[in-house]
C-alpha cells in the first residue's frame, strides 16, 4: 500500500497534502521507491534524497518522479457531479 499522504514533514508537522508523485531512485535497470510527495514538496524531496545518497543511505542513481494516478476515480467523479449539481441550483436561485 502506498502512503496516503506526502512524506514530507515541515517544521515537525507532517504535510497533509495527498501524494501526487511517487519518488524513486533509478539505478541501472532497478527502480527503488523511496516515498511519495505532493507537488509543493518535490524540490525538498529531491534535496533530501541527494543528502541521503551522499550518506549512502539510499543507492546513488537518478531521482525520478512519476505522477500518481487518481485513486478511487469513481468517488472523485461522484464528488464532481455533486459540485456541478450544487452550482446549477445556486444559479437558479
Ligand atoms: Zn507535501
- Say if 22 falls within a structural domain: yes
- Say if 1 falls within a structural domain: no
Letter string b/e over residues 37-51, b meaning 16 or more CB atoms within 10 A of that residue's CB: bbeebbebbeebbee
C-alpha cell, 93: 436561485
- Say if 18 falls within a structural domain: yes
Q: Which domain holds residue 37?
A: 9-92
- Say if 3 falls within a structural domain: no
pLDDT digits 0-9 by tens, 52-81: 999 999 999 999 999 987 655 555 444 444
C-alpha cell, 46: 529531491
pLDDT at residue 1, as a whole number: 67
The span from the CA of 47 to the CA of 89, in Å, is 47
Give the number of domains in the chain.
Answer: 1
- 83 CA from centroid of ligand 1 (Å): 26
- Say if 2 falls within a structural domain: no
- Say if 46 falls within a structural domain: yes
Ligand 1 is a single-atom ion; what residues have CB below 5 A from it?
6, 8, 15, 17, 38, 41
pTM above 0.75, yes or no: no
- 74 CA from centroid of ligand 1 (Å): 24
- Say if 58 falls within a structural domain: yes
CB 19 within 8 A of CB 68: yes
Amino acid at each position: 500500500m502506498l502512503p496516503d499522504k506526502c512524506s514530507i514533514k515541515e517544521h515537525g508537522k507532517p504535510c497533509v497534502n495527498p501524494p501526487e508523485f511517487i519518488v524513486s531512485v533509478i539505478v541501472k535497470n532497478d527502480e527503488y521507491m523511496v516515498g511519495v510527495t505532493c507537488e509543493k514538496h518535490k524540490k525538498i524531496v529531491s534535496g533530501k534524497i541527494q543528502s541521503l545518497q551522499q550518506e549512502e543511505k539510499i543507492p546513488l542513481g537518478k531521482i525520478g518522479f512519476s505522477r500518481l494516478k487518481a485513486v478511487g476515480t469513481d468517488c472523485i467523479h461522484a464528488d464532481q457531479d455533486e459540485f456541478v449539481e450544487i452550482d446549477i441550483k445556486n444559479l437558479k436561485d
